[in-house]
Structure 1
Amino acid sequence: MVLSRFWLSIFIGSIVFIGIALFTGNFYTVDFLINGKKDDKILIAEKFPNEIPAFIADSLSKADDKTFVLNRNTKDADTTFVQETKTVKIYSGVQKADGLLPTCKNTLLDLILPLIAYLAFFCGLMQLLIDSGAAEKLAKLLSPIFVKVFPDIPKNHDSISYMTLNFAANFLGLDSAATPFGLKAMQSLQELNPDKDKASNAQIMFMCLHAAGLTLIPTSIIGYRAAENAANPADVMLPCIITSFVGTIAAFIIVGIRQRINFWSTTLLSGIFAVIGGIIGLLFYINGLNLVEKNFFTANLSGIMLLAIIGFTLIFSFANEKKFAALETTVFDSFVVGARNGLQTGIQIFPYVLGMLVAISLFRNSGLFELISNGIAFVFAQMGVAKEITDSLPVAILRPFSSGGSRGFMIDAMRNAGPDSFTGRLVCIFQCSAETTFYVIAVYFGSVNIKNTRYTLGTMLLVDLICVLTAIFVASWFF
C-alpha cells in the first residue's frame, strides 16, 4: 500500500509540476519528457532569425552546419542555436534521464533481457545445487544461525542456502549473481508464507538485510575511481565496508525489534562476531599489500569466487550423478529446467520494474527531483553543513531511486571536485553503501506477487538514511 501510494505520488506530482512549468513558461515543450534521451540538449525556444542577436545570426549564416554554440564552458550547459529553414531553434541544458518511451524500450532491452539471461544461468546452477543435495547440506550447516534471525523458517529449509548465496554475492560485489539468488530466496520464502498477498516476517527481514548491501570489495566503485585517475582508487574501500556494515546491523536491529528477535542468542552473537572477525582479518591483509598488489587483489577476488562457486556446483553435481538418476534426469537437463524457471521469473517481474522506472524517469526530467534535492541541500547549508557535503547529497538522495542516475551524479562530482577531494570520495561511499530501494522492492516483491509490503519500505528508507549519516561521519574521520 505504501509503495503504491508513493508511486502514485511521484507520478501525479511530476505531471502537475510539468503542467505548472509549461504554463509559467519554464518549459517550451514537453516532447523531451516523452521521446528525449539522457544527455540530449533541451529545446527551450524557437525564434525567427530577425529576433536573435545580429552576431548570432551572422555566425549561423557562415557556419557550414548552421549551428552556433554560445558560452562554451565545460562546467555549464551550452546554449546552442540551430538554423532551420525559416526559424532558429535554441537549446540549453541536458536531459537528466531518458524520456518515457525510451525508458520503456531501454527497460526491456538494457535491463530486463540481460537480467533474464543472468536469471536463466544462475537459476540453472541453483537447480543443480538442489538436485545434487548441496543446497540441503549448506542449509544444515547454517541453520543454527539462520533460525535465530528467521525464526519462522523451518530448520534446513532450502531458502537458507539461497539467502546465503545472495548475501555472499552481495558481499563480493557480484551484482549479476546476487539478484538471481535473491529472487530464488524470495520465491522459496513465499512457499512458507501463509498470506500470499502480504510480505511475511522472513521476507521483510531478508529484503532489509539485502538492501543494506554489506560489501567487501566495491569493485565497480574502484573501477570508476581508477577511470577518473584517483591517486589510490581503493582508498574508499574500508569506509565503504564500515558504512555498509553499519547499515546491515541497523537493518537487523530495526526489523529485529519489530519482529521480537532474541538478540542475545549465543549462536547469533557468535555468527555476528565471526563475520566481524573475518572482515577485520581480511582488511588487515589488504592493508598490508602495496598499491599494485591491492589493485590486483580487488580486481580478481570477486571473479575468482564466482568461478569457484560455478566450479564447485558442477563438480559436486558430477560426483552425485546418482541423485540426478534417482530423479529421472541428468545434470544438463536439471540445469535447463532451472534456467527455464529463471526465464519465467524474469518475464514476471518486467511489469513491476517498468512501472517503477517510468515513474522515476518522469520524476527526474520534470525538474521536481532537482527542486527537492536543491531544497534539501539548501536547508543543510543553512544549518552550517559544509559545502563538500551538500555537493554530495544529490547522489545520496537519488540512490534509492536510480542506480544509474546516482552513478552519473557520482562521476560528475568526481570530475568537478576531483576524485581525491572529500566530495569525490564521499559520493563514492554513498553510491556503495546502499541499495536502489524502489527498484529492489519492485523486483523482489513483484517476483512473488506480494501486494502488501507492510513496513518494508519505511525500514529500508530509514536504513538508507542511517547509511548516509554514517558515510558522512566515516568520510570525515578518514579524509
Structure 2
Amino acid sequence: MLNRVWLVFFIIALCAIGLQLLTGHVEVLSAAVAALFASAKLAAEIALGLVGVLSLWMGLMRLGEKAGVVSAIAFVFEPLLRRLMPEVPKGHPAFGSMTMNLTANVFGLDNAATPLGLKAMQDLQSLNPVKTVATNAQILFLVLNTSSVTLVPVSVFLYRAQQGAAAPADIFLPILLATSASTLAGLLTVALVQRISLFNTVVLGYGALMLSGLVASVFYLLSLSARAVGSVSTVLGNGVLLALVFSFVLVAAMRKVAIYDEFIEGAKDGFAQSIQLIPYLLAMLLAIGLLRASGALDYLLQLIAAGVRILGFDTRFVDALPTALMKPFSGSGARAMMLETMEHHGVDSFAGRLAAIFQGSTETTFYVLAVYFGSVGIRHGRHALACGLTADFAGISAAIGVCYWFYG
C-alpha cells in the first residue's frame, strides 16, 4: 500500500510541475528542488527533536510497568480494548500504554501522546508474527490515535485569540462534534473491515459511559468563559501528567525497583527508536513536500471550487479547504493555511471559523502513519491508510456541516 501511495504522490507532483511549466511558472522547478532538501532537514529535525521526549517517556513507562501502575491503569479499559482487539492477550502491557496514549490525546497533551503511542505500537509489535506487516490491533490503534477526540483544543483557541477573535473558544462545541464524528467513522470502518462486533454489552456499556462523560464535560465547559476553559484544560492536563510521573517513580521505589537503572534502560530504547524513525519520516515528508511545492493541492482546490459552483451549492466552505486538504499531510502546513485564511477572510468569518474547526478536528494521518509504523519497522500497513483517510473525510464533512449549522 505505502509503495503505491508513494508512487502516486510522485506522479501527481510530476504532472502538476508539468502543468506549471506549460503555464510559464518556471519557478516551480526551484520550489521542488528546495522541497527535496527541506524534507531531508525536517525529517532529521523531527526525529532528533523526539530523542529527548521519547527517551523521557520510555524511561518513565519502564518504571510505570515495573511499579504495576500501568497495569492498574490498563485495568480500567482492558475489557473494552480486548473486545476490539481480540488477538491481544489478557493482561498484556499494550493495554496500559494504549490507554495512556488515548487519555493524553483527549487532554491535548501532544508531548506525551506521541511517545506513549510509540510505546503502545512497540508493545503491539511484540505480538506481531510478521514484523513488516501491520496487525489488526496495530491498525485499529493507529486509526483511533489519528482520529481520537480532543476534549479542549487549547492551541486552536490561542491562535484565534492572537488573531483578535471576539470569543476564541466559541468553536469548542463544533470541533468536539466534528472530531467525535471522525473517531466514530474510524472505529466503524475498521470494525467493518476486520469484522469486529460492536453490538455487545461491554462495548455498548463503555460507549454509554464515555458518551455520558463527554456530554457532562461539554455542559460544564460551556458554562465557563473562554479564558476559564483554557485554564481548566491546562491545569487538568498538566495535573494528570504530573500525577502519573510521580506515581511511577514513588510506587516503583516502594516496590524496591532500582528506579535510576530502570529509567536509564528505558531511555536507551527511546533514543534508539527516535533515530530509527529518520528514513520513514524522510520518505513521507519528501513525497508530501513535492506534492505541496508542485502546486498539486492548489489545482485540487480549484477543481473542487469549480465542481461546487457547477452544482449550484454554497461555496463559502471552499475558502477554508486548504487547511482541511493540508492537515492529513502536515500539521505545520495546515496551521499556516489556517492562519492565512483567518488573516485574509477574518478570524470570525465563516471561512476563518471553519479553518479553525478543521485544524482542531482532523489529524496528520500520513505523518502519524510514517512515525508509528516506522518506529517498529512496518512497511505494509494493509488497510490502515484507507481507514485513517475515511475518518479524516468524515471529520472534514462533519466540520463543514456543523459550521453551516452553527454559523451559516
Aligned amino acid, residue 7 of structure 1: W
Give the SS at the match of 2:170.
helix
**1:431-450 superposed matches below 5 A:** 431-450=359-378
> Are 2:31 and 1:103 aligned?
no
- Aligned residue in 2 for 1:124: 59
> Are 2:76 and 1:161 aligned?
no
The TM-score, its normalising length taken from structure 2, stands at 0.95
Tell me: CA distance 1:170–1:33, structure 2 relative to 1, closer, same or farther (3 Å): same
**1:411-426 superposed matches below 5 A:** 411-426=339-354
- Aligned residue in 1 for 2:79: 144
- Aligned residue in 1 for 2:25: 26
> Are 2:388 and 1:460 aligned?
yes
Distance 1:32 1:358 in 2: 13
> Are 2:293 and 1:368 aligned?
no
Q: Which moved more, 1:442-451 or 1:383-392?
A: 383-392
Task: Report the Cα offset of residue 104 of structure 1.
Answer: 1.3
**1:304-323 superposed matches below 5 A:** 304-320=239-255, 322=256
Distance 2:404 2:308 in 1: 16
Instruction: Select the structure that is richer in strand.
Output: 1
Task: Report the Cα offset of residue 143 of structure 1.
Answer: 2.0
Give the SS at the match of 2:126.
helix
Aligned amino acid, residue 234 of structure 1: A
Give the SS at the match of 2:376.
coil
Aligned amino acid, residue 208 of structure 1: V
Task: Report the Cα offset of residue 23 of structure 1.
Answer: 5.8
Tell me: CA distance 1:359–1:177, structure 2 relative to 1, closer, same or farther (3 Å): same
Would you say the 8 A contact 1:217–1:302 is kept in 2? no
Task: Report the Cα offset of residue 219 of structure 1.
Answer: 1.3
Aligned amino acid, residue 398 of structure 2: T
| Pick aligned residue for 1:238 from 173, 192, 196 | 173
The TM-score, its normalising length taken from structure 1, stands at 0.81
Distance 1:376 1:3 in 2: 26
> Are 2:343 and 1:344 aligned?
no
Distance 1:424 1:281 in 2: 28
Tell me: CA distance 1:129–1:236, structure 2 relative to 1, closer, same or farther (3 Å): same
Instruction: Select the structure that is richer in helix.
Output: 2
Q: Aligned residues, how many?
A: 407
Bigger CA radius of gyration: 1
Distance 2:361 2:29 in 1: 35
Q: Which moved more, 1:290-299 or 1:6-15?
A: 290-299
Q: Deviations over 1:245-293 (max 9, x none)?
A: 1211111111112222221211111111111111111111112223443
Q: Deviations over 1:420-445 (max 9, x none)?
A: 11211111111111211111111111
- Aligned residue in 2 for 1:298: 233
Task: Report the Cα offset of residue 16 of structure 1.
Answer: 4.3
Would you say the 8 A contact 1:140–1:155 is kept in 2? no
Give the SS at the match of 1:392.
helix
Aligned amino acid, residue 36 of structure 2: L
What fraction of aligned residue pairs are identical, expressed as a percent? 38
**1:8-407 superposed matches below 5 A:** 8-19=7-18, 21-22=20-21, 25-28=24-27, 30-35=29-34, 99-109=35-45, 111-320=46-255, 322=256, 324=257, 330-407=258-335
Tell me: CA distance 1:175–1:385, structure 2 relative to 1, closer, same or farther (3 Å): farther
Mind listing any 5+ residue stretches in structure 2 that lack a counterpart?
A: none
Q: Deviations over 1:158-184 (max 9, x none)?
A: 000010011011111111111111111
Give the SS at the match of 2:308.
helix
Distance 1:105 1:340 in 2: 24
Would you say the 8 A contact 1:172–1:216 is kept in 2? yes
Distance 2:117 2:40 in 1: 24
Aligned-residue RMSD, C-alpha: 1.7
